Amino acid sequence: EISACLVGSEMCIRDSTRTNPPNNDKLTELGTLMRSAILSAGGVAYTSQKSYDLYPTTGSADDWYYDNAAKIKLVYTFEVRDTGKNGFILPTSEIIPTGKENLAAFIVFAEYVKKQLDN
């Protein structure tokens, strides 16, 4: 019950609802842990927040994964390095550092899920 996708702008974005989902504490905790792992791995300070707090949105892939057929309860969209300067075209020099940051976040994500499953 996990999902993540990568796009651009240094964020770990979770659900897009106005109200908090029942597992909001877990989503917030995991987002903070992944943000810390990214910062430690590459020195870039990602933001962890609800997508609705960034811009009004509904019906996104995150919502579908969380609420519908898939029933995935830990859903994030990662917007990777670049805050708009290069659009969604990451400069070559940013590819490896971005990969290292996101690998660190994914490891935290996987360990968190394993811990949840073990309990």
Query: Which residue numbers are catalytic?
Result: 79
Judge contact between 23 and 113, C-beta under 8 A: no
CA distances 102 to 2, 18, 41, 82, Å, are 15, 27, 9, 14
60 Cβ contact partners less than 8 Å away, ≥ 6 residues apart: 16, 51, 77
